Structure 1
Amino acid sequence: MENGNNNALALQNTHVKLLAFDLLSLTQFPFRSPDAATSFFRRGIQISRVETLGTVTLRHLKPERLLRFAIDDGTGCVPCVLWLNDANSPSVVRRRRHELAARFVEVVKFGAVARVRGRLSRYKGGVQVTVSDVVTERDPNAEIFHLLDCIRLISSSLRDGERDESLRP
């Protein structure tokens, strides 16, 4: 089981590729209050950052505040939020992040295929991705390759001794 513990530590700061179906079914802990810091778990392993890929099916811009959008990969829709209100921050890092966010707004167009990376967060009791990076995919095979990567990663984790409760008879 030591290998499983090493894998768990390795995933804490890694963008884990997940399908919407898996992402939306993550276990949240603690359940006690909406304000509390939330940890997300997949099959007993803590996950804080994810990567997903799909078609932008919803886009709602609140200028100078945020961009809400959804990514549909065929297994479900992942809610995403991109914060835009760091422009007036005295921090150079935040100002640069704001400049990047402004560019990301241009990338997120309705119907575009986009790859999104970010940190998991809670919103209205559900999981969402707080976006740190988004790019448009131009490769027509990107979606199927992402799907196959996710399936391969699930299969390899099951072979490594991780139990999948959903597959039990």
Structure 2
Amino acid sequence: MAEGPSTLESSSQVDNEKSYSYLPQTYWGLDPLHRAFVKMFIRDVLEMDNYPGHPALNVYAYKNHPISRVDLLGWVVRVEEREKLFNYAIDDGTGVIGCTCWKPRVQSTTGKGLIDDNDYSTTGASTSANSAEQEFAEFLASKMQEIKKCVRQLRQPVKLGDLLHVRGRIKSYRGRREVGAAYFHLVVDPTCSTEIRRTMEQLQLYQDFYDVPFQLPRCQEGGDSSEAGVVKSLQDAIANFLSTNSTVLNFEIKELATVDSLMAIVQKARKENDSTINAKQVFSLFTRAVGGLEELGIVYKSDKDNLYVVIDRDATLESSVLDIVRRESQKPKYSESGCHYRHILDCLRTNHRFSGVSPNVVVHILDKLESQSDVISTSENYYIAF
């Protein structure tokens, strides 16, 4: 393991020009904007920097809010169609950003292409059919209408000058920032009333929420000298240490105790509690702190005893997960609905090297692959590769 610096630069240090502190990754979930589709202006989406200390993640900082998903509304100024997706560029008056919109996955089971409107209708149903048969016929007819609607959308894509509503993850592709759409919808707004109402709503959201820096609860801002508080402080410090030292690919727990900035946290707790801490207790504190990072999907335990690997620096793990998704997506069982992340985890653990990988690690890798457009989630926790 590479030796750490004599002092650890915490992400909570306050910039002289700012009145807020950046959040450690372990506290991102406390900010309601982190997992929400944030209604922002395109200019701000383009100007946001990567969240300090986490350049490998597609998480960006507005004030000190960690933003990964956005909700945008804009006029289409560029249309590019590919085999499986549309690339739209939308303009809301503050900036222009590209949006990757995947085509609906529609497969015909009849070989006739688009089905006539009279197909699967219930008008010719026998009067002697029972109610269950009629309900099934009506259900089947409604599903066929949905399929035909999807096919029409494919044949009549969004055009230049249309107003498009997009929700998705922020990502970078070939050095350009764009949005990988999880949802997109054509908005009919001839009088621009929808756009005006949304702009007014955004201005209010900026004033009430976005421009107000997020503050941690006092119980977490202060120095908690309890054992749980020391473990939490160690967990945050180790996460920051790993993010600021890119040469650290793996480590053992005993090596962390040689980093002065980490041991300073333990010594501070010892002084505040006016007690002594032996080597066994120190090892226990570090073990619990690293266990917390493992649950968060930041590190995983390798097949070697006490050796932990930083997942963002393990290209083999990422490629292995992608290979599994690609292979399983070819099977009829998963070709439509995709495969669950638990199934991907089971396949991954057949490799002895990744036998200690936790479910959160796999979810983290899948989220990263989705942000890179290598895989797409067909529904919650189900993924498929293209």
**TM-score of the alignment, normalized to the shorter chain, above 0.5:** yes
State the percentage of identical aligned residues. Answer: 26
CA RMSD after TM alignment: 3.3
Matches within 5 A, 1:1-169: 9-29=31-51, 30-31=54-55, 36-62=56-82, 64-84=83-103, 103=153, 106-139=156-189, 140-157=192-209, 160=212
Q: Structure 2: 5+ residue runs without aligned partners?
A: 1-19, 108-148, 215-386
Cα 1:105–1:150 change in 2 (3 A) is farther
Q: Structure 1: 5+ residue runs without aligned partners?
A: 89-98, 163-169
- Counterpart code for 1:74: G
Distance in 1, matches of 2:155 and 2:87, equals 10
Between the two structures, name the one with larger relative contact order (CA 8 Å, sep ≥ 6).
1
8 Å contact from structure 2 (residues 73, 164) kept in 1: yes
8 Å contact from structure 1 (residues 79, 129) kept in 2: yes
Higher strand share goes to which structure?
Answer: 1
- Counterpart code for 1:48: S
CA shift for structure 1 position 9:
2.5
Query: TM-score, normalised on structure 2?
Result: 0.33
8 Å contact from structure 2 (residues 28, 34) kept in 1: no
Cα deviation, 1:36-61, whole Å, max 9, x if unaligned, reads 43222211111111111111000011
CA shift for structure 1 position 85:
9.1
- Counterpart code for 2:72: T
CA shift for structure 1 position 6:
8.3
Question: How many residues are treated as equivalent by the alignment?
Answer: 147
Higher helix share goes to which structure?
Answer: 2
CA shift for structure 1 position 119:
1.1
Distance in 1, matches of 2:188 and 2:79, equals 20
